[in-house]
Structure 1
């Protein structure tokens, strides 16, 4: 094929890709001075959050009881600055009713949301300490809690979830999902930031685990790899569109254990202290204290 033929093919392809029907649903028209949330900066924000929540494990390794207030202060100030910018970008992107970026009003709101988020860190640290303890107590292979914090994908994913969930509660657009998807990419564990999860939560191994948006998980719950808390397929609305913003994922009560590759579908309730064994498919409520196993038929 000659050079002219190659040139014609490329030119025709450019023409097709430039036709409005080709990109209508996939195109974002930037407004004056608009910015979009940055995955690279959000990764730094998550790293800073981990350094604050787990001092000495992430960030400055020379931190001590004498210097912790200084380093925490530096990290908090940096986090507030970066997060304010990213929240502003998310708010601006979500603000569809203007031709120019709204400016100072949203910048002020972004700073307030960033402050409100950071104010949750003491409680978030307390909650994460229970998750670390539950993970260590549930895994005989763990040498100490430091190994759990530093190495375990379950804690990495849960930490991202705890961060994303607080931003979700503050109704920050886009950023919570981006943060949860970072952990999904790193660990294979997919926790929607809208899920409600209590304390002493642990995920053993975790690869392939999915926890949907409206899932409710109680305290002292332990799940394994491949577990799916899935939403049921709901009938469409009168316009044929999928129904949104209604509870459609399972409720898991306290002290429940769910073993590998179990799938729980719909707004069902798993009662307190129940045990769900591996490779089962559950679409109905499970009474408290029940053990659900696969049925094995005698030949």
Structure 2
């Protein structure tokens, strides 16, 4: 075995493409700090905002290795969005509290509900995505995905008072549009009907209008698919076409029960 040759080959191939995994680790630390700044009563906001600015600039330096770096004024613009994001997240928490009979307090929502955490990180990442910040928003939502089992692409558009119950297995695609007061359960997929690279700039994921409830393991696919307002989509439903407002959609599997008499 030519050890030096193996090392040389490994070093040559690992540079294509260039990857600095510190970016992933630092993004996760930035995400935690940002979350605590918004919600933890013992975290000083003024001190943390200065810390977050330094962390963010470090992230940009690592993320923009082959792109033009955003201006130093970018962070100031992002900070101005934080009060609005926090207001939306408080509405999300209230929606969960009001809809879930198992919730015992608003504090429980913020600290123990994976759906809320996933929504929070999505909302914080979405503003960066909207400003074309490279890679960082996706790393933020993938961090939440790993912790909660909820995969929300930072490009999705989500309105006010959003509720994900139980959370695990939820998938929301990049071009999905969700309006206000929508409630979804575990295992729901808002996905693309077709997967092809040339569809990158097209709307591939469905639109969910206001006041819709989507029950567990329902799958809704396609960029032209619109679920009308006030509709209820039952568990395990599979939809690739639009549903009018005020509709109820349900899947009816055949279930047979055979009981053996006591001998």
- TM-score when normalising by structure 2: 0.89
* Counterpart position of 1:199: 160
1:253 matched to 2:209: yes
Correspondence for 1:89 among 62, 67, 73: 62
String of CA shifts for 1:94-136, please: whole Å, max 9, x gaps.
42xxxxxx7xxx3xx3532222111111100100011000111
Q: Distance in 2 between matches of 1:15 and 1:85?
A: 30
- What is the CA distance between 1:159 and its match in structure 2? 0.7
Q: How many Å apart are 1:195 and its aligned residue?
A: 0.1
Correspondence 1:221 to 2:182: yes
Deviations 1:207-263 (A, max 9, x none): 0100000000000000010000011215x6xxxx53311101000000000000000
Structure 2 counterpart of 1:28: 17
* 243 and 129 in structure 1: CA distance in 2 versus 1, 3 angstrom threshold: same
Task: Give the deviation of 1:45 after TM superposition.
Answer: 1.4
Determine which structure has more spread, i.e. the larger CA radius of gyration.
1
Aligned-residue Cα RMSD (Å) equals: 2.5
Q: Which runs of 5+ in 1 are unaligned?
A: 1-7, 64-70, 96-101
Which residue among 272, 281, 296 is the counterpart of 2:238? 281
Match in the other structure for 1:4: none
State the SS of the aligned residue for 1:229.
strand
Call closer, same or farther: CA 1:72–1:246 in 2, change over 3 Å. same
Counterpart of 1:66 in structure 2 is: none
Partner deviation per Cα, 1:62-117 (whole Å, 9 max, x = no partner): x6xxxxxxx211011111111122123222x242xxxxxx7xxx3xx353222211
Q: TM-score, normalised on structure 1?
A: 0.78
For the 8 Å contact 1:37–1:90, the answer to whether it is kept is no
Distance 1:85 1:110, change over 3 A: farther
The alignment covers a number of residue pairs equal to 255
CA contact (8 A) 2:38 2:45 kept: no
Distance 1:130 1:48 in 2: 21
Q: Which residue of 2 aligns with 1:290?
A: 247
Give the aligned partner of residue 263 of structure 1.
219
Q: Does 1:47 align with 2:32?
A: yes
| Partner secondary structure for residue 119 of structure 1 | helix
Structure 2 counterpart of 1:172 = 133
Aligned to 1:149: 110
Match of 1:68 in 2: none
Which residues of structure 2 form unaligned runs of 5+? 257-263
* SS of match in other structure, 2:160: coil
Tell me, yes or no, if structure 1 residue 14 matches structure 2 residue 19: no
CA shift in 2, pair 1:16/1:116, >3 Å: same
Helix, strand or coil for the counterpart of 1:264? Answer: strand
